[in-house]
């Protein structure tokens, strides 16, 4: 994933020695100093004491020692995320100036604050369903598409695993909230018999297992082999569901078929099996590892495409869209943009930017063009969105010392 440059107060180990150093230092002391600098640059929390010649061998052995709690990265990672101890995670403040540290803390708070609009986005549906259930009006719940809700839940679970591995607590809470709120809606649909009970039972097992495994893994209490099985499951599930959802969007203009999902399922099983058995190259294993996170992102990215296609086919149905709901969706996804940009997470940034621009703002634009919302509402949403995105890129360029915000985009795409 994304990587950021690390600014340190001393030269890297390959830099030449300062000219003004005293020339009477012996070669052994210079070697020890270089070893210390090397360790400080790569592992900021590991500082070797300066030693004399007879301790040089012990220092050299410490140089190649692995931290006890780190796992070797030799297994298939179904999410292809950066390790939590990468230089832009956990120790992100090492060697950074005060301005960077403040922005790092602030973007994490923005990401956590996204829970508020997302919670407000789902609560009206939950309350309305509860009222209909209490009134015995189960037919009203038939209007809620349980298959679409199930797809959204699978996407939330996949991204929860992704952000748990990256130790992004704010994004983890957002995805957990998405899983729980969507599951509550599915439970209401099951009570109203709008969702088949066998499907709901299977979904319940997946949800409970997913939440348990992700949080056990986050706190380091889960066996790595068990979590790899979960990663394989969401990789196969995500790759199977995405093409089927995309195909179903354009029915009846294309034949109704389960063939896309079936073919994708077979391909996903073969890919995971080959990667697990070592029959793929290193690049192939890395590609398979990125499938789960990207399919989850693409599932969410497809939602605005599906909505706009529906708007195009049935413009009169746009009167049923809530402008406030679209505004909340725009705000919630927009709040996560600065964090994704700061840590150079292209997948996170792509998904959040797409949802902000095309799902939230795109539907607001459709409502305005259909004369459903006022010009003032549309202009206020436009001004707020442009200002927020501009501020995020400007601030990112400032804390990194770039001369132009466009440099942040270049580094985001290149992963540097």
Measured distance CA(393)–CA(36) in Å, rounded: 36
pLDDT of residue 354: 92
Average pLDDT over residues 368-376: 92
Average pLDDT over residues 68-79: 42
CB 200 within 8 A of CB 147: no
Residue 320's Cβ-count burial label (10 Å; 0-12, 13-18, 19+) is exposed
pLDDT of residue 416: 63
Indicate if the pLDDT at residue 246 is higher than 70.
yes
The closest alpha carbon to 217, from 235, 205, 229, 206, belongs to 229
pLDDT of residue 266: 95
pLDDT of residue 142: 84
Instruction: Write down the number of H helices and E strands in the chain.
Output: 17, 0
Average pLDDT over residues 347-375: 92
Indicate if the pLDDT at residue 74 is higher than 60.
no
**Percent of the chain at pLDDT exceeding 70:** 76
- Write 70-75 long-range contacts (CB < 8 A, 24+): 71/224, 75/224, 75/228
pLDDT of residue 304: 77
Indicate if the pLDDT at residue 84 is higher than 60.
no
Indicate if the pLDDT at residue 398 is higher than 80.
yes
pLDDT of residue 13: 41
Which residue would you say has higher pLDDT here, 394 or 40? Answer: 394
**Percent of the chain at pLDDT exceeding 90:** 37
The closest alpha carbon to 123, from 176, 184, 179, 172, belongs to 184
Residue 287: pLDDT band (50, 70, 90) is: confident
pLDDT for 269-278, tens place per residue?
A: 999 999 888 8
pLDDT of residue 337: 96
Provide the CB-side half-sphere exposure for 59 (13 A, CA): 22
Average pLDDT over residues 240-246: 87
Which residue would you say has higher pLDDT here, 214 or 297? Answer: 214
Between the alpha carbon of residue 18 and those of residues 24, 312, 382, the distances in Å are 14, 67, 53
For residue 167, the surrounding DSSP H or E stretch is none
Which residue would you say has higher pLDDT here, 170 or 7? Answer: 170
Structural tokens at position 320: 């049923």
Measured distance CA(272)–CA(266) in Å, rounded: 10
Average pLDDT over residues 38-50: 37
pLDDT of residue 96: 64
Residue 62 main-chain phi, psi, to 5 deg: -65, -30
Measured distance CA(202)–CA(205) in Å, rounded: 5
CB 204 within 8 A of CB 184: no
pLDDT of residue 310: 76
pLDDT of residue 187: 95
Average pLDDT over residues 48-65: 40
Indicate if the pLDDT at residue 117 is higher than 60.
yes
Indicate if the pLDDT at residue 85 is higher than 90.
no
Burial 241-280 (b: 16+ CB within 10 A, else e): bbbbbbbbeeeeeeeeeeebbeebbeebeebbeebeeeeb
Between the alpha carbon of residue 343 and those of residues 92, 279, 363, the distances in Å are 9, 33, 29
Which of 49-63, 201-215, 397-411 is the least confident region?
Answer: 49-63
For residue 182, the surrounding DSSP H or E stretch is helix 169-191
- Locate the domains of the chain by residue range: 112-220, 223-302, 314-415
Residue 42: pLDDT band (50, 70, 90) is: very low
Indicate if the pLDDT at residue 128 is higher than 90.
no
pLDDT of residue 48: 35
Measured distance CA(176)–CA(325) in Å, rounded: 20
Average pLDDT over residues 86-111: 72
The alpha carbon of 341 is separated from its chain's Cα centroid by a whole number of angstroms, namely: 12
pTM here is 0.67
Measured distance CA(85)–CA(256) in Å, rounded: 46
């Amino acid at each position: 994933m994304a990587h950021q440059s690390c600014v340190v107060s001393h030269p890297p180990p390959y830099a030449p020695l300062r000219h003004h150093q005293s020339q009477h230092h012996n070669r052994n002391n210079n070697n020890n100093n270089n070893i210390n600098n090397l360790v400080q640059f790569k592992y900021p929390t590991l500082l070797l004491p300066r030693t004399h010649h007879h301790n040089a061998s012990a220092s050299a052995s410490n140089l190649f020692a692995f931290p006890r709690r780190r796992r070797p990265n030799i297994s298939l990672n179904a999410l292809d995320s950066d390790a939590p101890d990468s230089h832009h995670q956990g120790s992100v403040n090492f060697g950074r100036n005060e301005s960077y540290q403040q922005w790092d803390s602030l973007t994490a708070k923005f990401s956590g604050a996204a829970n508020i609009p997302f919670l407000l986005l789902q609560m009206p549906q939950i309350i309305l369903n509860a009222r209909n259930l209490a009134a015995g009006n189960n037919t009203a719940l038939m209007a809620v598409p349980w298959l679409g809700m199930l797809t959204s839940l699978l996407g939330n679970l996949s991204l929860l695993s992704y952000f748990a591995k990256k130790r992004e607590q704010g994004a983890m809470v957002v995805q957990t909230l998405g899983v729980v709120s969507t599951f509550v809606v599915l439970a209401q649909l099951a009570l109203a018999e709008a969702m088949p009970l066998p499907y709901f039972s299977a979904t319940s097992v997946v949800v409970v297992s997913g939440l348990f495994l992700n949080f056990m893994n986050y706190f380091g209490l889960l066996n790595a082999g068990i979590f790899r099985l979960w990663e394989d499951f969401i990789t196969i599930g995500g790759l199977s569901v995405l093409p089927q959802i995309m195909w179903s969007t354009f029915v009846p203009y294309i034949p109704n078929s389960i063939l896309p999902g079936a073919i994708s399922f077979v391909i996903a099983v073969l890919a995971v099996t080959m990667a697990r058995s070592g029959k793929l190259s290193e690049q192939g294993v890395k590609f398979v590892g990125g499938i789960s996170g990207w399919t989850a992102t693409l599932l969410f990215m497809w939602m605005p495409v599906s909505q706009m296609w529906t708007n195009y086919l049935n413009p009169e149905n746009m009167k049923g869209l809530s402008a406030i709901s679209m505004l909340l969706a725009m705000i919630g996804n927009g709040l996560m943009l600065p964090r994704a940009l700061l840590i150079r997470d292209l997948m996170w940034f792509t998904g959040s930017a797409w949802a902000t621009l095309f799902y939230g703002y795109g539907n607001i634009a459709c409502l305005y063009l259909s004369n459903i919302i006022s010009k003032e509402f549309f202009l206020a949403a436009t001004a707020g969105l442009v200002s927020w995105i501009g501020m995020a890129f400007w601030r990112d360029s400032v804390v990194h010392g770039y001369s132009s915000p466009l440099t942040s985009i270049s580094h985001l795409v290149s992963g540097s």
